[in-house]
Amino acid sequence: MKKRVIKAIKDELQCEFVLEKPKDLSFGHYATPIAFSLAKKLRKSPMIIADELCKKFENSTIFKEVTSVKGYINFKLSEDFLDEYASWALLNESDFGKSNKTGSILLEYVSANPTGPLHIGHARGAVLGDSLYRVGRHLGYKITSEYYVNDAGSQMSMLGLSIYLAGRENVLHVEVEWPEEFYRGEYIVDLAYEAKEELGVEVFNDESNIEKLSLWGKDKMIELIKSNLADVGIEFEQFVSEKSLYPKWDESFKKLLESGKVYEEGGKTWIRSTDLDDEKDRVVIREDGRPTYLAGDIIYHDNKYQRGYDHYINIWGADHHGYISRVKAAINFLGYDEKKLEVILAQMVALLKGGEPYKMSKRAGNFILMSDVVKDVGSDALRFVFLSKKSDTHLEFDVDMFKQEDSSNPIFYINYAHARINQVFNKSGKTLEDIQDVKLENLNEDAANLLYSALLLPEVLEDAFESRQLQKLTEYLKSLSSSLHKFYNENRVVGTKDEDKFLKLLAMVGVSLRVGLSLIGIKAKDKM
């Protein structure tokens, strides 16, 4: 809709302009301050210019009214135009909101260490990443979703050691001395018993089996992580193992050397990341010759850029903020355009239940399991609330909110709007085919505004994706549902002279609710 509006205006004005939305729809659906920017050039008052430009649209079929108000030009869309667009959307629901965006994007998110089940902090980035993937694909981008498996380094050894010691203590009933750092929680004990069944009890007799337990445990945790993600409708196209990339370190390090941005000091090898706004230079090789954690990121991003995407998006936890500048510096030193990498930060989540802090999982040890919250509130509620605020802001919510059957529970409120539409159709005894060709004309103000709101989904999707602020989509769905409930309460539909027109209007709202919800991984409910 907006693209056709812009084209129609541009065809008449023959110049660039800014298109805005008046807060009050009584002024119009769109507005432009173009007259103000032309005032100096034409040496006329903006009000006079606006009056003159309005006359260019007298024969427009897209605009019902084009008026000048204090130098602004306001555009009110015609009913014919809105009806034509709605009729198309009703026949082409799966294509509604699609665009022809071009470009390839590698989207990496979650990437939690495969050392335990996913916690509630991981869930926010997971939902954001999956929803960006869905919306971006709908808009036409070629997006690949990727999970980077951090299966190299000390955390994997610690996983193997934790399973080994848990096995000796719980399976062999041997007294063990636990190190200061190890993985806690009942899941480690469960893994030990599972290892006994699959690998044999003798696996706990010798420390030489710790590496074997690390590899076995990693595979089990990846299976669990995939299951946790599947419970909220998330699947990845590809998984990339950090360990599998380490043989490429020499190749990546050679590129760093060739950049001239590497030096040795104190027995360590450093990159000059301060040359690209990092607060200090970073170590890539320790005194003992082992690559650092940063080296793993360097190899991985070298691998990413070699795959030739147009753009790269990483969704990281907010605690990784300090890594952005050093990783971007390394990408530059590897010979790539670091501006192609975009990092989105996801802040932590504070969870309440009945106003009290949500209990930590005994099974997990010292954090709240994502799977526990999904069981408590359901996948739909979890997905919706995690998209309700910009990802880099703190999020706090009480799970008991999702037990409310009123407007305080957003997912109930939206689903209730969709169910109401079906209820009205059932009461009328009519189907979409019966009212498809009805003209949406001579609508009252409430109906006209509701129709316009329902047709805004495509531009909301584009704005939400390009700004990476998917809360704009959840806010739109709540607002559209509120408008639907208001219309329903103030306008009788079945048995009135406007029945068919109102049914078509409600059907259009239903399309926007279904498509919008589906793009954040939620299926609209037909009954409540």
pLDDT tens-digit series, residues 208-233: 999 999 999 999 999 999 999 999 99
**In whole angstroms, what is the distance from residue 65 CA to residue 149 CA?**
57
User: 315 - beta bridge partners?
Assistant: 344
- The chain-wide mean pLDDT, for the chain, equals 94
- The residues, ordered by sequence, that sit 6+ positions from 312 with a Cβ below 8 Å of its Cβ are 105, 106, 108, 301, 304, 305, 340, 341, 342
528: confidence class by pLDDT, cuts 50, 70, 90? confident
Rounded distance between C-alpha atoms, residue 377 and residue 478, angstroms: 19
Q: Is 509 in contact with 450 (CB distance < 8 Å)?
A: yes
Architecture of domain 93-99+406-518: Orthogonal Bundle (1.10)
| Torsion angle, alpha carbons of 446, 381, 525, 2, to 10 | 40
Cα gap 178→282, rounded to integer Å: 33
Predicted confidence band at 265 (pLDDT cuts at 50, 70, 90)?
very high
Question: Looking at residue 184, what is its pLDDT?
Answer: 84
Segment 284-302, tens digit of pLDDT: 999 999 899 999 999 999 9
Domain ranges within the chain, ordered by starting residue? 2-77, 93-99+406-518, 154-221
Most confident of 276-280, 353-357, 511-515: 511-515
CB atoms within 10 A of CB 386: 26
| pLDDT for residue 231 | 96
Residue 15, pLDDT above cutoff 90:
no
Closest CA to 286 of 274, 296, 277, 299: 296
Q: Please say if the pLDDT value at position 496 is more than 80.
A: yes
Distance from C-alpha of 222 to C-alpha of 225, rounded to nearest angstrom:
5
pLDDT of 366 higher than 90: no
**What's the CA gap between 500 and 40, in Å, rounded?**
51
Segments in 56-200 forming alpha helices (H): 79-91, 120-139, 154-170, 186-199
pLDDT digits (tens, 9 = 90+) for 369-426: 999 999 999 999 999 999 999 999 999 999 999 888 888 899 999 999 999 999 999 9
Sheet holding 349-353, edge to edge: 356-357, 349-353, 395-398
Question: Distance of CA 68 to CAs 77, 78, 217, 258, Å?
Answer: 15, 17, 69, 62
- For residue 269, list its beta bridge partners: 264, 285
Q: How far is CA 145 from CA 125, 132, 235, 315, 453, in A?
A: 13, 10, 8, 11, 32
Asked if residue 362 has pLDDT above 70, the reply is no
- Angle between helix 499-518 and helix 410-428 axes, rounded to 10 deg: 140
Q: Which of 92-106, 299-313, 361-375, 487-501 is the least confident region? A: 361-375
Mean of the pLDDT values across residues 261-282?
95
For 2-77, CATH gives 3.30.1360.70
Residues found in the chain: 528
pLDDT at 361 exceeding the cut of 80 = no
- CA separation for the pair 314, 291 (Å, rounded): 22
In this predicted structure, the answer to whether residue 98 has a pLDDT above a threshold of 90 is: yes
pLDDT tens-digit profile of 73-85? 999 999 999 999 9
